[in-house]
Amino acid sequence: MTESEPATQPRATRRINGSTAESNAAIERAYRDAYGGVLATLIRFLGGDFDAAEEALADVFATALETWPRDGVPAKPAAWLTTAARNRALDRIRRDRRQAEKLVLLEQEMTGTEVATMQLGTDGGLEDDRLRLIFTCCHPALQLDTRVALTLRTLGGLTTPEIARAFLVPEATLAQRLVRAKRKIRQAAIPYRVPLGEELPERIEGVLAVLYLVFNEGYLASAGEAAVRHELCAEAIRLASLLADLMPDRPETHGLLALLLLQDSRREARVAADGSIALLDEQDRTRWDGAEIARGLEAMDRGFAAAARLSHASVGRYLLQAAIAAEHARTIDGRATDWRAIATLYEALARIDPSPIVELNRAVAIAQAEGPGAGLALLDQLAAGGELAGYHLLPAARADFLRRLGLFTEAAAEYERALGLSDNDAERRFLQRRLAETRS
Amino acid sequence: MRYMLLIYGEETQQDDAATGDAPEISPPWMEYTNWLAREGILRGGDKLAASPSATTVRVRDGNRLITDGPYTETKEVLGGYYMIECEDLDKALEAAARCPAAFGGSIEVRPIIPMPAPAPAG
């Protein structure tokens, strides 16, 4: 499979044998669109029992594979799946005599409204359930890698082998991690709800961090199959989009979505013909995805509008990073880039999220705006701080500034240092190419 | 839902020298305990004697092994506990974060699994 194939690889079809193409496609769509939402509703219905919900849903997907080709696809697949899976779960509980007491409780708790919500399937209740599920999967009482895996498994509907492959961990390890997570959610009573009040901003931040991690794993990963990585990016964008839809008054939800879309729009142009990373100024901008850029810019505008309605301070790191990406995305001729605006945005970013990496990026922007000499001065300050020791992009940036000043011998030495620190193949190829150029 | 708040921190010289008499309770702890009680979530709690007074027991291959001291020798030791009852983990974490030992030490929050009452001795 190549990178030019569709972002979302049909997952359900891999499990389907011998049914018609049309219902295959419908099942696949239903699976992708509805899995997380239906599962979220089922988990609430089953009082937080992830395993029972997953089992019931897997069962009804198997049933759909038989009945949909024969009877036709239901008008509202999500509602059909929800109702069928709920009935399946109840049957199972009824059959299981050890769970007899639980059934009594469930039937007592199941009010008329809840039954209505379950059956409607696509109304507000379902949306709320998906939010509950996101916040539960991204609860800080779970380890970060567990949050990532659980989010992809439950909301994204990725299979355990798929997630294991994407993160290069043995399948058994990942399966075990998921089992432990679900057990902890149950035993420690991690609540199945959207956090309230003052807790909310911090928890949203946590969810955004998980989604950004999923995206970056797909976008920047130094290893792994291209196809799997691509799927992670698509999934992160889908979930970020869901979160922005469900929490439209939170600027950063739009900020993250915008950032992911704008970064992803450069995917095709980011890798040079020889497989090395093409830097921004070397990328063929006609290969950027215009539709994705448009969606990204719209999301960013919605984010700034939401921030304006709250307060100035609500412009956060994702919105600022999106604004930086947008400066590039809007510029068809790279030479026309407004580096001064970008340097200012990095300065704002450094104020809310001070980090040497942000300072390094600011130095690069300053070097573009005011010349490599000004950039070098900033890098010297950064290097003196010592925090970036061992980080290959510091010597790589130095090398670039020196090269542009015509100091080729010094530049070559810095490229060699950078090479010694990087273990990413695409990046190493890039550095080697530059090193060869400085020596010629 | 009941939770144990296990209070870990470094032991002071004073803890070490403690005689086993009822300790004097400092104002922040008194305040915290009262707060838990006012919230209606306090189910129990005590200070533990210093870690050198601990004895750890385990049975391996039918043999009872007794070791002097706490289960693990670390700088931060279990110094006391509260048992609280809250709706969910978020509420329990909120209560734990107010504990004086959370500033500097750490509080491990563990759900309690209810056990059936023991049968009366007959």
- Amino acid A43 reads I
Q: Which residues on chain B are in Cβ contact (under 8 Å) with A191? A: 87-90
Q: What is the pLDDT of residue A8?
A: 38
- Closest chain A residue to B4, measured at CA: A188
Q: What is the pLDDT of residue B62?
A: 77
* Model pLDDT for residues A52-83, shown as the tens digit of each residue: 999 999 999 888 888 888 888 888 888 888 99
Give every CB contact of residue A232 below 8 A, 6+ residues apart in sequence. Answer: A152, A166, A214, A215, A217, A218
B90–A191 CB contact, under 8 Å: yes
Give me A13's structure tokens: 């079809």
Domain span at B76: 2-111
CATH number at residue B49: 3.30.70.1060
**In a domain? residue B40:** yes
Distance in angstroms (rounded) separating the CA atoms of residues A316 and A244: 15
CB-nearest partner of A191 from B89, B109, B110? B89
Is the ipTM above a cut-off of 0.90?
A: no
Q: Which residues on chain A are in Cβ contact (under 8 Å) with B90? A: 190-191, 195, 199
**In a domain? residue B26:** yes
**In a domain? residue B118:** no
| pTM tops 0.80, yes or no | no
Whole-number average pLDDT of chain A: 84
Distance in angstroms (rounded) separating the CA atoms of residues A12 and A25: 9
Distance in angstroms (rounded) separating the CA atoms of residues B41 and B4: 12
Distance in angstroms (rounded) separating the CA atoms of residues A397 and A437: 15
**In a domain? residue B117:** no
Distance in angstroms (rounded) separating the CA atoms of residues A125 and A132: 11
* SS3 state of residue A123: coil
Assess contact for A252 and A208: CB atoms under 8 A: yes
Residue A258 has pLDDT above 50, yes or no: yes
pLDDT band with cut points at 50, 70 and 90 for residue B121: low
Count other Cβ atoms within 10 Å, centred on residue A399.
Answer: 26
Q: What is the pLDDT of residue A379?
A: 93
Count other Cβ atoms within 10 Å, centred on residue A92.
Answer: 15
Helices (H), B1-122: 13-17, 27-39, 89-96
Instruction: Give me the number of domains chain B comprises.
Output: 1
- Closest chain B residue to A135, measured at CA: B90
Give every CB contact of residue A141 below 8 A, 6+ residues apart in sequence. Answer: A184, A188, A190, B89, B93
Count other Cβ atoms within 10 Å, centred on residue B46.
Answer: 9
Give every CB contact of residue A301 below 8 A, 6+ residues apart in sequence. Answer: none
Residue A17 has pLDDT above 50, yes or no: no
Q: What is the pLDDT of residue A251?
A: 95
Sheet holding B2-10, edge to edge: B42-47, B76-85, B2-10, B106-111
* Model pLDDT for residues A170-207, shown as the tens digit of each residue: 999 999 999 989 988 988 889 988 888 788 888 999 99
Highest mean pLDDT out of A153-162, B4-13, B38-47, B74-83: B38-47
pLDDT band with cut points at 50, 70 and 90 for residue B21: low
Give every CB contact of residue A281 below 8 A, 6+ residues apart in sequence. Answer: A334
CB-nearest partner of A141 from B1, B89, B113? B89
B89–A195 CB contact, under 8 Å: no
Using CB atoms and an 8 Å cut-off, which of residues 220-279 of chain A contact chain B? Answer: none
* Model pLDDT for residues B43-84, shown as the tens digit of each residue: 999 888 888 778 888 888 877 777 787 877 778 889 899 999
**In a domain? residue B11:** yes
Domain ranges of chain A: 1-122
State the average pLDDT over residues A289-306. 97
B1–A141 CB contact, under 8 Å: no
Using CB atoms and an 8 Å cut-off, which of residues 150-209 of chain A contact chain B? Answer: 187-191, 195, 199
**In a domain? residue B51:** yes
Q: Which residues on chain B are in Cβ contact (under 8 Å) with A197? A: none
